Amino acid sequence: MCLAVPGKILSIEGEDPLLRSGKVSFGGTLKNVFLAYVPEARVGDYVLVHVGFAISVLVPEEADRIFRYLAEIEEGDFLQGEEAS
């Protein structure tokens, strides 16, 4: 199973919409991400990234919600009230 992860765009390079890329922070880890699928993305935006490509721009509230879910998964809280099998 593949998972798309949210990150924050710190900088953008390139004028050609098909070749634009950005430096994206994933909790302090920086990666270069292709932005061809999200031409509307700007520095400071949160994007959902899958295999090195930003696939959608997120509103900050949606990004925060995803970060909370990921933290719950990491801590095991997503099984709260359920028996793990």
Specify the CATH architecture of the domain 5-78.
Answer: Roll (2.30)
Model pLDDT, residue 78: 60
Can you give the C-alpha Rg of the chain in angstroms? 15
Which residue type occupies 49? V
- The pTM of the full predicted model, rounded to 2 decimals, is 0.81
Confidence class for position 67, pLDDT limits 50, 70, 90: confident
pLDDT above 70 for 60: yes
Backbone angles phi, psi at 77, to 5 degrees: -70, -15
Residue spans per domain, the chain: 5-78
Type and span of the H or E element at 62: helix 60-75
pLDDT above 60 for 81: no
Q: Which residue has the higher pLDDT, 33 or 81?
A: 33
Please give the structure tokens belonging to residue 42: 């700007």
How confident is the prediction for the chain on average, in pLDDT?
89
